[in-house]
Amino acid sequence: MKKTLFTLLLSLTPLFSFAGIQTAPKAPWFNTIPNLFTKEALIEKRTLEMVTPTGLLLYKAYFPWTDKEKYLISHDIADLPAWQGYLMASYAFKEAVTGKDFDPEISKLADGLLKFYEVTGIPGLLGRSVMPDYTGPMLPWMVTKEQRPTAYWIQGPKGQWWRNGVAKDHVNLAVFGCSIPLALERRGQIHLTDETRQKLISFMLPLVQRIVYHGFQIIDWNGQRTEYGSLRSAANGFNQLLMLHMLATAAPYDRGMYKVYRSKIKGWHRTIGWSLEALGQGVHKIIENRRGTYDKPSFSDMQALGLAYLSLYFQEHRRKYMKSIRRGMEGVWKFMRYERNPMFAIPYVATIRAQEVHRIFPIIEDLRDFPVDKYEANTSRRDTKYIQPLANRPYNTNYWKSSPFRAIAHTPPPKTGNEQVFAGMDYLLAYWTGRYFNLVPHE
């Protein structure tokens, strides 16, 4: 049997050195299942249990949902569109790898995203969370405008509740959840029904059009830009790469978006190259292992950047543009190479520098150590100057958006069964993206 790239290079692991930011010794505090494929099935089952009948992934939930109060409070989340996009993309990669049909799963999740437009009453406007099946009075746990002026619960025109203040990472990843199925179908690697394809386009296109119409800004229901809603370019390669991936996704379905994309990439590709290169140099030379306390640039932004690049990689094939963009990614890699983040490392190694494949091995170790049962465990946390293997870190709603320098402060008390439980879309996307590029083993 032909060896995979992973199998071949795994035998060479002792030859690679890992100079740079130091990694802490592994000190596991929870039990898990090391077999990646066995774990995938269990995590997928748990994650699908957290998808509502309307197609929304409530990635932090209280069970059982037969208790109406627990079902409603499970909507008290702030990143719904982003992690919904994660799950949609993971199913597209899974279908490309296995050949099995996951169109029904993608279709249902697309239905969930379209609920935002129904509830907000504005095509193209997302929220941080949404409750399409509740029109009653404000609930005690809902954040008010007085408590959080930029992200609070309000009622849409039909009385349904939603939380405003959506950020650019949310929008970027929601579009990513559409771009990957659409791009893989154009490559002939998956099949979408006409209905599912149209749902993806019907969600994605108004979202991108509205951002462009408002001058590359996310404008909320009140006409104000959201707190983290600026995607204006100037010399900001991060914003430009996020915007290019979204424009590229919309371009095949709208002539106006196609013209904007063709116009912007001509100049933006250079800015992306030099500005991200400068970012990488700055972090590498100035911040280095103090990122654990600085969070500069944002850990969440860096996973979003890696996935925006991956989306663009599938859609833009002109070398004169991608060469500059890859140079920018190489700049960011100067510090991201240490951080064990599959959402950046897998696209980078798979499409830019295969010689760095040894950086995937710690990620595979983390996937082996990934918990099957994530929940709100009372471990507290402490920031360190060392990269922490995943086995050392607190449970997180999404490991790849959190600090890899963070370790638990103490082991939690025994689980009671009343805790808030977390979905595993972070594992599923990392595993199936790695499988797609032949960098993560099947097992």
Q: Sort residue 4 into left (φ over 0), alpha (ψ -120 to 50) or beta.
A: beta
Instruction: Render pLDDT for 426-438 as a digit per residue (tens, 0 to 9).
Output: 999 999 999 999 9
Q: Do the Cβ atoms of 345 and 374 come closer than 8 Å?
A: no
Q: Provide the 3-class DSSP secondary structure of residue 154.
A: strand
Q: What is the mean pLDDT of residues 78-106?
A: 98
In the predicted structure, residue 17 carries a pLDDT above the cut 70? no
Tokens at 334, concatenated: 């100067």
The region of weakest confidence among 13-27, 174-188, 340-354 is: 13-27
Each residue of 33-90: pLDDT tens digit? 999 999 999 999 999 999 999 999 999 999 999 999 999 999 999 999 999 999 999 9
Instruction: Write down the mean pLDDT value for the chain.
Output: 94
Whole-angstrom Cα distance, residue 273 to residue 329? 8
For 141, the token pair is 């746990």
Taking residues 259-274, what's their average pLDDT? 97
The answer to whether 5 and 370 have CB atoms below 8 angstroms apart is: no
Provide the pLDDT for residue 294.
80
Distance (Å, rounded) from C-alpha 333 to C-alpha 331? Answer: 5
Over residues 293-316, mean pLDDT: 94
pLDDT at site 21: 86
User: Which pLDDT score is estimated for 377?
Assistant: 95
Closest C-alpha to 280, from 235, 330, 239, 346: 330
Kindly report, residue by residue over 368-427, the tens digit of the pLDDT: 999 999 999 999 999 999 999 999 999 999 999 999 999 999 999 999 999 999 999 999
The more confident residue out of 170 and 291 is 170
Give the pLDDT confidence score for residue 20 in this predicted structure. 67
Going by pLDDT thresholds of 50, 70 and 90, the confidence category of residue 278 is very high
Which pLDDT does position 18 carry in this prediction?
A: 40
pLDDT at 9: 38
Confidence of residue 288 (pLDDT cuts 50, 70, 90): confident
Kind plus residue range of the DSSP H or E element containing 174: helix 168-186
pTM above 0.85, yes or no: yes
Asked if 41 and 49 count as a contact pair (C-beta separation under 8 A), the reply is no
Is pLDDT above 70 for 11? no
Alpha-carbon gap, residue 68 to 63, rounded angstroms: 10
pLDDT at residue 226 greater than cutoff 70: yes
Question: Hey, what long-range contacts does 190-195 have (CB within 8 A, 24 or more apart)?
Answer: 190/92, 190/95, 190/96, 190/102, 191/95, 191/101, 191/103, 192/103, 192/106, 193/103, 193/107, 195/107
Only one residue has tokens 């089952």, namely 45
Provide mean pLDDT across the span 143-160: 97
Helix (H) or strand (E) run with residue 207 in it: helix 194-213
With a pLDDT cut of 90, the percent of the chain lying above it is: 91
In this structure, of 27-41, 95-109, 197-211, 229-243, the range with the lowest mean pLDDT score is: 229-243
Binned at pLDDT 50, 70 and 90, residue 233 comes out as confident
